[in-house]
Structure 1
Amino acid sequence: MDSYVDGHGYLAACTAGLPTHGTLAAMRADLDEWGSAASSPTRYGALVEEGRALFARIVGVPAELVATGSQTSAMTAVVAAALPDGAEVLVPDGDFSSIVFPFLAQAHRGIRVRSVPLDALAGSMHADTALVAWSTVQSATGAVADSAAIVTAARAAGARTLCDLTQAAGVLPVSAAPFDVTVTHAYKWLCAPRGVAFMTVSPSALAWLRPVQAGWYAGEDVWSSCYGPAMRLAEDARRFDVSPAWQAWPGAVAALRHVASLDTASAWRHATRLADRLVVAMGSAPRAQAIVTFPDASGAGLAALGAAGITASGRAGRLRLAFHHWNDESDVDAVVAVLSR
């Protein structure tokens, strides 16, 4: 059974996850193969397909509805490019820029982005709303969106849905099935190397999305798609694939194998129990979140934790702490001891 490296004092899964021993071994073996001129593009291709299938299992959709890539912003840009001129996109205030900026960048053709508080998202759609885009778990605060209510409201308004699962997949049980599109970078809670991301598309979304970033890896037969001008794209979500960052995939597949073997509901209970223990110790009410934040405009709290050997992060003027598999009560006690000073 694989296991994570020692992560005591590491409270930053929301910034970047820690590797398993299997992930490190796979990446070292890949470097050795590269160093001995034994790397194989076809082997990397097989890893991409295994990673696609593993991610599909983690988020509960068929593998043929999963596209692979390197960055969530590039995947979001595919959705932005498919919207009609003048469309309105509804987003929460302060959501992560990778699912906001691609729409703002379409302002030249009249795309309008309207933001509202997260808890008002479901009630803020109207007939002109073409798409609602949000993160299941908010990066800056750790707040968990009521995604079911948002999807229900979107359907009633005739709006399409884009959900970012980056801060959820791997710690919070999630299904990509209810959404038109999801995007997920795997380097956070899924603990893969940076450079592996996934997009899921519903069967209906396959009909209205355009593969504007199509390259050789989007072909029905990848190895017959290296040269133009003839183009035969994959019939399924692979038409949205981009050429993989090869060296990231051996480690990513090892990480996804491990995550797929775990009970995500148990991971969520573990993470939220530790986070709630911390906020209660600091005099706040439980939040049922894996990410918790505290005011820290000066950065003094983050600096104090760093000086004590505790890794956290600072976002939007707040101290941000995240709990994952490798954390335990001793991490909570260590944070409380520093912040209580």
Structure 2
Amino acid sequence: MSSEFAELWEPQPGWLNTASYGLPPKPAWEALQAVLGDWRVGATSWEPWDESTTRARAAFARLVGAEVADVFVGSTVSAAVAPIAAGLPDGARVLVDDIEFTSNVYPWMVHADRGVEVVAAGTDKFVEAIQPGIDVVAVSAVQSASGTVLDLAAVVAACKEIDALLVIDASQALGWLPLTVEGVDALITHTYKWLMSPRGATIGYLSPRLQERCRPLQAGWYAGRNVHGSYYGPQMELAPDARRFDQSPAWFSFVGAAPALELIEQIGVETIHAHNLGLANEFRAGIGLPPGDSAIVSASIPGAEEAFAAAGVRAAVRGGNLRASFHIYSTQADVQLALAALKGLVKT
């Protein structure tokens, strides 16, 4: 990473936990501080803050190759999946990974009373499990627990073969892994991880065919065709595109999200991808693992959590394994600090 961009973050050494939350770049942090100052004294109305929602929506669309008209905004992944799940016919079958993060599992499972069935397959057998009888495939582009990168092209092809809907949770992928919405019906991401934004801003793509199948159950004034004309009364005219699925945005979360997403565009996802994988694979080599294709490294190292805590390295434990994650602000010094902490615990 060039010094031009490196200076936009000031992380304390040893932050290897972007898979839990990302660190805001300077433009996002400063934008957020400015609006918090305005809020504190009532210096402005809210409309200027809301311009960030428009900017974030457009930046997301560019990042994933979508039309802005097919992009909605919201609060959480589970809330974004809920209208899709509610639109399924009784008795539909949904395939998930058996370690899928539950924001992309529970919204389907709560419809069990009307016969919606959720079935799970292991990560290594997932593509094979996409067989006739499956109506929806709901899966993460990168698994939170293991860091496994989905073979999206193979999943898209398998779903097309049986005409199954494909719903992708991109929360652990978008921002470092190149992704597009080609062949996907929904691609939804929270922005507080690899997109380095405040928690509370979720953005997603809905294919036109999926928009037709879903009811905008969370529609409010912000989903109106004319937002400022939708404040009062029983006259409802919703936006004709994916914006009718908008939830009223958390202004300050999107104020931080817009400059962060635009910075990712400026740096380039391919550049970030190369940087992250370089560090992740340096770490993998140091703990005796072969090279991988993920910015998230999961490994069983007894005693690692305590060793990291003693050394000031912040990572996570998921599924009983150590999980270290590397992003654009991570450095070789972070890798070496982590490996030094693990010295004596791993055999290389």
Q: Could you state the TM-score of these two structures normalised by the residue count of structure 1?
A: 0.96
Question: Structure 1 residue 318 and structure 2 residue 317: aligned?
Answer: no
What RMSD in Å do the two structures reach over aligned CA positions?
1.3
Select which of 182, 190, 199 maps to 1:185. Answer: 190
Any conservation in 2 of the 1:126–1:157 contact (CA below 8 Å)?
yes
How much does 1:204 deviate?
Answer: 1.5
Which structure 2 residues correspond to residues 140-179 of structure 1 after superposition, within 5 A? 140-179=145-184
The CA distance in 1 between the partners of 2:12 and 2:204, in whole Å, is 29
Q: Which residue of 2 aligns with 1:36?
A: 41
Question: Structure 1 residue 279 and structure 2 residue 284: aligned?
Answer: yes
Select which of 68, 75, 82 maps to 2:80. Answer: 75
Question: Structure 1 residue 208 and structure 2 residue 204: aligned?
Answer: no
Find the residue that maps to 2:188 and give its secondary structure. Answer: strand
The CA distance in 2 between the partners of 1:174 and 1:40, in whole Å, is 36
Number of matched residues?
A: 339
Q: Which residue of 2 aligns with 1:109?
A: 114
The CA distance in 2 between the partners of 1:181 and 1:339, in whole Å, is 40
The CA distance in 1 between the partners of 2:194 and 2:71, in whole Å, is 19
The CA distance in 1 between the partners of 2:55 and 2:312, in whole Å, is 37
The CA distance in 1 between the partners of 2:52 and 2:285, in whole Å, is 44
The CA distance in 2 between the partners of 1:5 and 1:259, in whole Å, is 17
Question: Structure 1 residue 265 and structure 2 residue 273: aligned?
Answer: no
Residue-by-residue CA offset, 1:245-269 (whole Å, 9 max, x unaligned): 1121211112112112111112111
Q: Percent identity?
A: 39
The CA distance in 2 between the partners of 1:7 and 1:114, in whole Å, is 42
Residue-by-residue CA offset, 1:200-240 (whole Å, 9 max, x unaligned): 01122121121111111111111111223121110111000
Gaps of 5+ in 1: none
Which structure 2 residues correspond to residues 1-341 of structure 1 after superposition, within 5 A? 3-296=8-301, 300-341=303-344
Find the residue that maps to 2:267 and give its secondary structure. Answer: coil
Residue-by-residue CA offset, 1:103-160 (whole Å, 9 max, x unaligned): 1111111110000012322221232211001001000010001011111101111211
Residue-by-residue CA offset, 1:263-307 (whole Å, 9 max, x unaligned): 1112111111111111111112111210001115x6x31222122
The CA distance in 1 between the partners of 2:171 and 2:91, in whole Å, is 28
How much does 1:7 deviate?
Answer: 5.0
Counterpart of 2:334, as a letter, is: D
The CA distance in 2 between the partners of 1:196 and 1:91, in whole Å, is 24
Counterpart of 1:43, as a letter, is: P
Any conservation in 1 of the 2:94–2:117 contact (CA below 8 Å)?
yes
Any conservation in 1 of the 2:35–2:49 contact (CA below 8 Å)?
no
Counterpart of 1:256, as a letter, is: L
- Which 4+ stretches in 1 moved above 4 angstroms? none
The CA distance in 2 between the partners of 1:141 and 1:179, in whole Å, is 23
